[in-house]
Amino acid sequence: MPTLKPLEHKHMRPWETVAEAVWKRYPAAARFPQRKEITLTGKRIGPKLDTAVMERTVVYNYADVIPLFLKTFVGGGENWETHEKLTFEWRTRRLEVEVTNETGKGQFRYTEKTLFTPHPESELYTLVRQTGFFESDLIFGVDQLGVQFAEDTHQLNFTHNRDADISLIEEMARGASKQVVGYCPTYLRQLFEQDPTYAKSMPPLPPNKDATKSKAPDAPKSEAMKLDLAMDPQEAKRKLAWMFAPTPPLTKSVRGGGKEAAPTIDIPSRLGKRGSAYECMHPQFGTMHTFAQQTVASLVPPPLEIYGSSQEMPQDDAAKRGASGANQAASSLVMF
C-alpha cells in the first residue's frame, strides 16, 4: 500500500488539552467546513481500565477535492462517509485516530492515522504526526487521479484539523476544567456512566485534592498577656511633666525686646573675605520699598513681594543727596 508524506505539528498545549479538543470536534466548524456530520457509533473500555476506544462516523463534503473524471468511479463526494476510531491511552498519554473511507471503498481505499503524544522537547507540548496510505483498483490512467485525490485529502484533513483544533483549544482555555494527568478524562467517563453495562468496569477516579491535603497542626494556645500597670507616683509625675511640658520658643529673646540675630555663615573662598562673590553671599537687608513703608525685610520673604537689598552709597552720590539725607541707603528692587 503506497504511503503518503508524513505531516507533523507541535501544539503549544499539554496532551490532555489537545486530546479533549480532538474529541470535541464538531461538524461545520469555521476552519473545517467540509466536515458535515459526526455520529458516535460505539465505545468500549480496555481490560486494564487504562484505555478507551471510541468509534464515530464522520461525513465530509469532498465535492471540490475529488477530480471530475474520478467522480464517475467513486461518487460525487458530497457525502463522503468515513469511519473514525479513536484510542485513548491516558496513562501513557497517547491518542491514535484512524480514519478509513466507506464511500467508494470497492475501488479506492484511503487510510489515515494521526498520533498525538507529548512532545520530546517538553511534556507541556503535544506532537501531532499524521501518516496516510491508499490503495486503488482503478483502471490504468484513472489510478493517477486516485493518487492525486489521496494526496489532496491527506493535506486538507491535516491542515483543517490542525486549524480547527487550535481554534477549539483557544475557546476551551477561557473556562474549561483541567483534566487530571494519568486518569480517564471526564468527557469520556460521562459517556460510560450513562450506560449501565459499564457500571462495574469503570476506570478509577482521580484522587480528591481536598481529601489528600494534610491539615496543618493546630497552633498552640497563647496565654493571656499580663500587664503590670502599677507605677510609682513620683515616676508617673515625672513622665507626665515631661510629656506635657511647653514647647520652647524657636528663637531666644535678647535684651531690649528684640530677637537673637541669625548666625552668619562662613563661606570658604579662595580670595578670603573679599570680592563681589563673597559680598553677594552676605547681603545686607535694608528698608523695604513697598506699599508698607519702614518695613524690614525678613529672611524668608512671602511669595510675590518686592524687597530691596541695600548697597553702600558712593560718596559722590551721598554729597549730591545731602538735602534728602546723607545716611539713607540706595536700594535696588528684586522680584521673587
Average pLDDT for 75-100: 94
In this structure, of 36-50, 190-204, 309-323, the range with the lowest mean pLDDT score is: 309-323
Residue 254 has pLDDT above 80, yes or no: no
Judged on CB neighbours under 10 Å (0-12, 13-18, 19+), 96 is middle
Q: With beta carbons less than 8 A apart as the criterion, state whether 186 and 93 touch.
A: no
pTM above 0.75, yes or no: no
Residue 157's pLDDT is: 95
**Per-residue pLDDT at 43:** 95
Over its C-alpha atoms, the chain yields an Rg (Å, rounded) of 48
pLDDT digits over 90-118, tens only? 999 999 999 999 998 888 999 999 999 99
Q: Note the pLDDT of residue 319.
A: 55
User: Could you give the CA distance from residue 327 to residue 203 in angstroms, rounded to a whole number?
Assistant: 112
The amino acid at residue 299 is L
Mode of pairing for the β-strands spanning 108-118 and 126-136: antiparallel
The per-residue pLDDT for 308 is: 47
pLDDT band at 68 (very low <50, low <70, confident <90, very high): confident
Which cell numbers hold the place of 3? 504511503
Give the span between the Cα atoms of 108 and 90, in whole angstroms: 34
Q: 32 falls in which pLDDT band (50, 70, 90)?
A: very high
pLDDT of 251 higher than 50:
yes
Evaluate if residue 61 carries a pLDDT over 80: yes
Task: Give the pLDDT score at 256.
Answer: 55
**Cell numbers for 205:** 477516579
How confident is the model at residue 304, as a pLDDT? 46
Can you give the length of the chain in residues?
336
The per-residue pLDDT for range 127-174, each reduced to its tens digit, is 999 999 999 888 888 888 989 999 999 999 999 999 999 999 888 877
- Confidence check: pLDDT of 294 > 90: no
At 9, phi and psi to the nearest 5?
Answer: -155, 150
Mean of the per-residue pLDDT values for the chain?
Answer: 78
